[in-house]
Structure 1
Amino acid sequence: MKFAFTTKGDPKSNTLMHKMRSQLLEFDLIYDEDQPDIVISVGGDGTLLYAFHRYSSRLDKTAFVGVHTGHLGFYADWVPDEIEKLVIAIAKTPYQVIEYPLLEVIIRYQHGGKETRYLALNESTVRAVEGTLVMDVEIRGDHFERFRGDGLCISTPSGSTAYNKALGGAILHPSISAIQVTEMASINNRIFRTVGSPLILPSHHTCMLKPVNEPDFQITIDHLTLLHKDVKSIQYRVADEKIRFARFRPFPFWKRVRDSFISDKN
């Protein structure tokens, strides 16, 4: 088996990474940063997001596993005290593959510019460069509403516990193949109206955003912030690709939700 690491970069994470690497090499596993079968993320959820984007071209060949060195994470199910156990599991135990849905983002441009495509593990957000965002929202090709407000957040089920939750969105179990559209401070008065509630779209539905006035936007793809100019439309749907996690033991989603937001243990 070929393995690789991503690390948060702090001394604690780097020390754990070097220790695990030495132990895995002793088991005759192969270190390969370019074509790993398994990527071990040491840090937090942000570190795993970085790993996902680094290996997004190998999602059908690479599985991810996380070791968290700070607060409890949604993607990292191992702690530093368990790294010897994890090393033995990686070296000796066939792992279960768990797949989570991803968000596909396709941005098309005016004047025939080449479209760009992104994958997001958590979410994508859209904001105006200045002032209020005004967007026509289409669902399955039909006009749904004209949104006015600070912005829109489109999230995956696994990302529903991140920024989406802070905006008042629902928490979705990652076994549900869907995306969620959540408003950021929408304007609602006698003249302007939005639905005001998060929208959960199944995998065969597409959400299209079309600019009404300004064509330039700040668009985030997980932790990446990008300025896109002369935008014609932004299309969101459940991606055909999925992220694959290597599971060596149960990692119940609702337990993670409870431990992260309700339980005193962290």
Structure 2
Amino acid sequence: MKVTVTSRGDDVSNTLKRQIEQYLLDFGLYINEEEPDLVITVGGDGTLLQAFHDYSHRLEYTAFVGIHTGHLGFYADWIPEEVEKLVIHIAKTPYHVVEYPLLEVMIQTAEEKEYRHLALNECTVKSIEGSLVSSVDIKGDTFEIFRGDGLCISTPSGSTAYNKALGGAILHPSLASIQIAEMASINNRVYRTVGSPLVLPQHHTCLLKPLNDVAVQVSIDHFTPAFNQIKSIQCRVADEKIRFARFRPFPFWKRVKESFIGE
């Protein structure tokens, strides 16, 4: 098996990364950064998000497992004291693959250029100055005209992140869907929105078309690529999925409880 290890970059994570790499070599496994079968991330959810984007071109072949060196994460479920146990599992035990849905974002600019991105957590659309005014089309029909700070389109696994802070629902990652949550919408006689998060199934698309003359900022997870004169942003459930390697149960609702409620 070909494995690579990525680190958050702090001293603790870097030390642990070197320790894991030595364990992997001791068990006869191969370190391959270019075409890994398994990516081990050391740090937190942000580290795994980075690894997802680094290897988004080979999601069909690469699985991910995370070790957290800080607070318990939604993606990183192993702790530093368990690294030897994890490597033994990797070397000796066939892992179970769990797949989570992703968000496909298609951005079209006024120059008729089109850009495709995948998001593990969410895509946010905001204006840099003033309010964003945008039509929201669902399955090809105009649903509403939004005016406010912006919109957040999230995956089920990302529903516990920015989406939750906006009052969105927490969705189980087994649901192939996307969720649209509003950021400070303005409702009056001219602009009316439903005012509630919307959950769209796999076969539905959401198309946003900015209507006012403002600079629009689109963020994909923690990345903010630069686009000139955005004409439209189309979001849907992606055909690709992220693959997590599971060596033991990691129940989603247990993670939600531990993160937001505690014992």
TM-score range, shorter chain: over 0.9
Superposition map of 1:101-116 within 5 A = 101-112=101-112, 114-116=113-115
When the two structures are superposed, what TM-score results if normalisation uses the length of structure 2?
Answer: 0.98
Kindly indicate whether residue 236 of structure 2 is the aligned counterpart of residue 230 of structure 1: no
Q: CA deviation at 1:193?
A: 1.2
Q: CA deviation at 1:215?
A: 6.0
Q: Take 1:187 and 1:11, find their aligned partners in 2: how far apart are those partners? A: 46
Output one character per residue of 1:40-92: Cα deviation in whole Å (capped at 9) or x when no partner: 00000000000000000010000000000000100011001111110100111
Q: CA deviation at 1:135?
A: 0.3
Q: CA deviation at 1:226?
A: 2.4
Query: Aligned residue for 1:181?
Result: 180
Output one character per residue of 1:194-215: Cα deviation in whole Å (capped at 9) or x when no partner: 1100000000000000111226
Superposition map of 1:44-193 within 5 A = 44-112=44-112, 114-193=113-192
Q: Take 2:244 and 2:43, find their aligned partners in 1: how far apart are those partners? A: 16
Q: CA deviation at 1:110?
A: 1.5
The list of structure 1 runs, each at least 4 consecutive aligned residues, that deviate by more than 3 angstroms after superposition, is: none
Asked whether the equivalents of residues 132 and 214 of structure 2 are also in contact (C-alpha less than 8 Å), the reply is no
Kindly indicate whether residue 15 of structure 2 is the aligned counterpart of residue 12 of structure 1: no
Asked whether the equivalents of residues 216 and 227 of structure 1 are also in contact (C-alpha less than 8 Å), the reply is no
Output one character per residue of 1:102-133: Cα deviation in whole Å (capped at 9) or x when no partner: 00000011132x20000000000001121100
Secondary structure at 1:81's aligned position in 2? Answer: helix
Percent of aligned pairs with the same amino acid: 68
Aligned residues: 263
Secondary structure at 1:57's aligned position in 2? Answer: helix
Asked whether the equivalents of residues 99 and 244 of structure 1 are also in contact (C-alpha less than 8 Å), the reply is yes
Q: CA deviation at 1:229?
A: 1.8
Which amino acid in the other structure matches residue 25 of structure 2? Answer: L
Query: Aligned residue for 1:250?
Result: 249
Secondary structure at 1:240's aligned position in 2? Answer: strand
Q: Take 1:252 and 1:205, find their aligned partners in 2: how far apart are those partners? A: 28
Asked whether the equivalents of residues 41 and 65 of structure 1 are also in contact (C-alpha less than 8 Å), the reply is yes
Q: Take 1:227 and 1:69, find their aligned partners in 2: how far apart are those partners? A: 32
Query: Aligned residue for 1:220?
Result: 219
Secondary structure at 2:88's aligned position in 1? Answer: helix
Query: Aligned residue for 2:27?
Result: 27
CA RMSD of aligned residues (A): 0.9
Q: Take 1:165 and 1:85, find their aligned partners in 2: how far apart are those partners? A: 34
Asked whether the equivalents of residues 74 and 256 of structure 1 are also in contact (C-alpha less than 8 Å), the reply is yes
Kindly indicate whether residue 197 of structure 2 is the aligned counterpart of residue 198 of structure 1: yes
Asked whether the equivalents of residues 133 and 148 of structure 1 are also in contact (C-alpha less than 8 Å), the reply is yes
Output one character per residue of 1:160-206: Cα deviation in whole Å (capped at 9) or x when no partner: 00000000000000000000000000001233211100000000000
Greater alpha carbon shift after TM alignment, 186-195 vs 129-138: 186-195
Asked whether the equivalents of residues 216 and 228 of structure 1 are also in contact (C-alpha less than 8 Å), the reply is no
Secondary structure at 1:244's aligned position in 2? Answer: strand
Q: Take 1:216 and 1:115, find their aligned partners in 2: how far apart are those partners? A: 17
Q: Take 1:175 and 1:147, find their aligned partners in 2: how far apart are those partners? A: 29
Which amino acid in the other structure matches residue 46 of structure 2? Answer: G
Q: Take 1:129 and 1:72, find their aligned partners in 2: how far apart are those partners? A: 33
Which amino acid in the other structure matches residue 176 of structure 1? Answer: L
